[in-house]
Amino acid sequence: MGLLEKAQERVLADKNTSTKQIEKEVKKESKASGLLEKAKQRKKIITEVVNLIDDKKLRDDSKKDIIEEKTGFGWRGLGVRRIVFNHDINEHVYEIIEPVLNDEEKDLKEELSRLFKMLADVNISDMNKKDKEKYLEKTLEQIIIDNDIKFYGNKLKKEEKDIKTEKENKDKTKEKKSFANLFSKNKKDEKINLLVEVNKPKTEEKKNLLKNLFKKKSKEENLKRKIESEKEKQNKLQKKKEKKKRDNLEKDSNKKEKSFKNLFSKKNKEEKTESEKNEKKKKSLIKIFSRNKEDENKLTKEQITELEEVSKRKIFYHIFKEFLGYGKIDVIMEDEGIEDISCDGYEVPIFIYHKKYDEISTNVKFEDEFELDSFVIRLAQICGKQISIYSPIVDGKLPDGSRLQTTLAKTVTKPSTFTIRKFKENPLTPVDLIGFKSMSLDMVAYFWFAIENGASILFCGGTASGKTTALNALSLFIPSSHKIVSIEDTREVSLPHSNWIAGTTRQGFSASDEKTGKDIDMFDLIRAALRQRPKVIIVGEVRGKEAYSLFQAMATGHTSYSTVHASDIHTLIQRLENPPISLPRALLTSLDIIAFQNAIDITGKTVRRMTSVTEIVKLDPDTNQLIFMEPFKWVSKTDDRFESGGASKILNNIRLQNDWTEEQLRQEIQNRILILNWMSKKETRDYREVGKIVSEYSKNPEKLLKRAREEIKK
């Protein structure tokens, strides 16, 4: 058993051993062990002690409860994130714990970063993540060798030099003061002699007068002292008498109280918690193994190399975070549980939207305006765009697919701001929507059947209500043979289909040239898509004149899916019929299904629910009113479930097209419910795997149904 294990066992397990005994035993073991073993153990102890100190700062806070903790972020997984409940503000807080650099390590980090920027001769942006890490690590190692950079011991040399210079400065100041004092004394003596010679007769007269006055005052003072002394004697006698009375009374009461105190004193001693004892013992370990100046001078070469390695790892972590990550928000960007990141200025905590805890603050913030402005400019550059006073608003896409919106300070907003909508590498599937209770099994089976048969759908709802998520998930039901063209401002749709063209808008480069400088907007991309003979058109969001082209595409037989901001059917019709969209009401009948998605607060937690599925039946020629059907709807907050409205125009049209009976139609839907239930039980959540099963069902449904039934029975 090693030094650390023995020490920890005695500290944490044995309650009877004192800290002094542990100190003696640890010292004996450290002397007996070899130099190499001692160096290795010392490194472990130092890291343990550092963790203890960090824990004291962050964890031993009675006002915080740790709810979740996750490790493995950043370079070599040295970053930690945790979610705590802060009792001061009665809220959850997202905290990041990272290696802390001292002043010497900060200087070394800046120097290494500067040298890397000078010497890097390869464009890192073209590499994948692993190649970037390898290149950066090798380059930094070469810089360290070439420049003979040391990560430990520089501080001691600096301190020794500082001490020498301080001593020299002190000696010089002492010498200067001694000369100055001598000179000043001589001048003072000369002045005094002159004054004495001039004022001799006057001083003698004054002295005589003063003597007479002092004699009178001394007599008066003596009388006063005698009177005061007599008063003090009387007071002392009275106090002694009172004390005797009190002592007698206290003795009687103490005798009674002692019996009770003896009973409770034992219990009070036993009531000391184990954590307090452990803390004292841990403190003793920290004292034994803490690195003060004397200990540092005694360290062997092996021990110094170990300490250098620890320091180097800390510095590398921060360099990798800057060059390959997202700086201060790198851990947040790596966390899969986060949906949105929002920064409203400097000296203000960054806020996040967490899947589980909704909107919460973090312990990350930018210290000053310059730091935030620099970070915003860097984010824009990562997106391949420029942000300046001329163009202070930038919308872009980060390398991982996340959507960025940022503004520069003193132009549009007072401080610089940025908002990041994180992109999911593995988007949600219909199985996830069922698992989250966003939709019921019947609803998902209904959409599968409708999408497979070419129904056009519009997903409506407020901001962050899950419109695009629902669109992307249900698009997995599009037959694999169909040609798909998607059109978006920022890429969010992710499909496993091979016959898929993904188009995104772009800003113009120059206003002077109409061809190269023109903006490519949604309207241009939809017009281009119609010439590509697509079977399905997906538009990220309709906001303007592109809506007219999209509904024209629906009217000409192109299956289309899109999203729009609208909370209910009446708001939707108003938005579509009024500027800037201005659609004629007759054109709305080309749309088949309207799905309303909402973010709802249930028992203090925000959840997404598809609150209504509405079908457009027809336009009444007499009243010019649209007639609707509602096959599915969500009931209420108190009764969190979905209910079926019964009749469906879409399903009836599919039945008539295929010449099925009502029973055959019902069986087709039940078959799809069986497959969805099977995928849910198997926890098939990867969008590629779900897409593969959907494709397999369309080719050979009987074979897949047989397999699903057999596996469900098991």
Indicate the domain borders of the chain: 430-653
Cis peptide before 580 (omega within 30 of 0): yes
pLDDT tens column, 320-331 = 998 888 999 999
Residue 110: C-alpha distances to residues 183, 219, 318, 320, 547 (Å): 51, 79, 10, 12, 52
Rounded CA-CA distance 47/605 in Å is 39
The lowest-confidence range among 123-127, 319-323, 613-617 is 123-127
pLDDT tens column, 569-605 = 999 999 999 999 999 999 999 999 999 999 998 887 8
Average pLDDT over residues 496-503: 94
Average pLDDT over residues 116-122: 75
Rounded CA-CA distance 628/593 in Å is 10
Residue 582, helix vs strand vs coil:
coil
Residue 593, helix vs strand vs coil:
strand
* 161 contact partners, CB below 8 Å, separation of at least 6: none
Average pLDDT over residues 21-46: 53
| Token representation of residue 24 | 């003696």
| Token representation of residue 303 | 């021990």
The residue that leads in pLDDT, 195 or 303, is: 303
Average pLDDT over residues 453-480: 94
CATH architecture of 430-653: 3-Layer(aba) Sandwich (3.40)
Q: What are phi and psi of 643, to 5 degrees?
A: -130, 150
- Cβ atoms of residues 101 and 109 within 8 Å: yes
Reference 96, options 54, 45, 50, 63; nearest CA is 54
Rounded CA-CA distance 419/160 in Å is 49
Average pLDDT over residues 517-545: 90
| Token representation of residue 387 | 């942000």
pLDDT given for residue 213 in this prediction: 55
Place of tokens 């994948």: 128
Which ranges of 59-120 would DSSP assign to H, the alpha helix? Answer: 103-119
The residue that leads in pLDDT, 268 or 702, is: 702
When the pLDDT of each residue in the chain is averaged and rounded to a whole number, the result is 79
Reference 626, options 567, 581, 566, 584; nearest CA is 584
pLDDT given for residue 645 in this prediction: 76
C-beta atoms surrounding 328 within 10 Å: 21
pLDDT given for residue 297 in this prediction: 47
pLDDT given for residue 125 in this prediction: 67
Work out the pLDDT band at 300, boundaries 50, 70, 90. low
- Cβ atoms of residues 411 and 392 within 8 Å: yes
Q: What are phi and psi of 7, to 5 degrees?
A: -65, -45
The residue that leads in pLDDT, 307 or 390, is: 390
Average pLDDT over residues 258-286: 52
Strand partners, 417: 407
pLDDT given for residue 198 in this prediction: 46
Rounded CA-CA distance 681/673 in Å is 12
Percent of the chain with pLDDT over 90: 43
pLDDT tens column, 412-422 = 888 999 999 98
Average pLDDT over residues 202-228: 61
Work out the pLDDT band at 391, boundaries 50, 70, 90. confident
Work out the pLDDT band at 408, boundaries 50, 70, 90. very high
**pLDDT reading at 268 higher than 70:** no
* 640 contact partners, CB below 8 Å, separation of at least 6: 437, 602, 609, 634
**pLDDT reading at 276 higher than 70:** no
Rounded CA-CA distance 559/562 in Å is 10
pLDDT given for residue 310 in this prediction: 82
